[in-house]
Structure 1
Amino acid sequence: MSNLDLSLKDMMTIDGAIGAAVVDYNSGMALGHLGSSKALDLTVAAAGNTEVVRAKLRTIEQLGIKEEIEDVLISLSAQYHLIRPVTGRKGKGLFLYMALDRTRANLALARHRLRDIEENLEI
């Protein structure tokens, strides 16, 4: 089993996980995804969240901020959506995306676990 598959499975073990993907933000394509909800199209989510990542990276550059994005949180009434750019050399241009059921998720723990998964991801 590849490191990508293991990372996706690890993401889905986070309490409240609805769906997870590893996405190339240059192309908007998901390299892999797993999900437990028919209501969440991870292919559409990957492409849409690519625009979020690109916009934020552009804004940071225009502002002259010399920091990297740790994560982006989108709070919906029933869900959290987390986006975490991969910072390692081998994962440049990728981000982790996951949707969580807000009633079952612990946001702080999910962010912590996602950071650990990102740090160990090798593509």
Structure 2
Amino acid sequence: MVNMDVALKEMMLLDGAIGAAVVDYGSGMPLGMVTGPKDLDIEIAAAGTTEVIRAKIHTIEQLGLNDSIEDVLITLGSQYHILRPSRGRHARGVFLYLALDRGKGNLALARHRLKAIEEDLEV
């Protein structure tokens, strides 16, 4: 099991990491967050993207799909924002939020690392 502080540090070790958070999607509040050298208000970003997670969960329920979100990718001109809801029994109701510099980050590697971190996360 990995605690939240270790998870955030691991996310920030990824090349191009700008900011990372573990967010409660019930309240939209980050339970923990770290930012890098670039200016990114991770608290505002996390709160705003919570609405994306909530809307998609609601849509899946309305469609009657027996499925869940693996991750959500928001692609900006200079950044990737990856949202990964936790499905682990030790971290329900939260999602991992990672912002990457698009020119420096490796999207495939970041998604792979977030999956591993999410699976071991304990909140």
TM-score over 0.5 for the pair: yes
- Distance (whole Å) between structure 1 residues aligned to residue 14 and residue 84 of structure 2: 15
| Greater share of helix | 1
| Letter in structure 1 aligned against 2:45 | A
**What residue in structure 2 maps to residue 60 of structure 1?**
60
Distance 1:14 1:57, change over 3 A: same
Q: Kindly report structure 1 stretches of 4+ aligned residues shifted beyond 2 Å.
A: none
Structure-2 residue corresponding to 1:46: 46
**Residue in structure 1 matched with residue 113 of structure 2 by the alignment:** 113
| RMSD between aligned residues | 1.1
Number of corresponding residues? 122
* 1:23 aligned residue: 23
CA-CA distance at 1:38 after TM superposition: 4.8
Q: Tell me, which stretches of 5 or more residues in structure 2 are unaligned? A: none
* Contact 2:18 2:38 survives alignment (8 Å): no
Partner of 2:7: 7
Q: 1:64-119 CA deviation, whole Å, 9 max, x = no partner?
A: 11111100000000000000000011211100001000001111110000000101
Identity %: 63
1: CA distance, partners of 2:30 / 2:38: 17
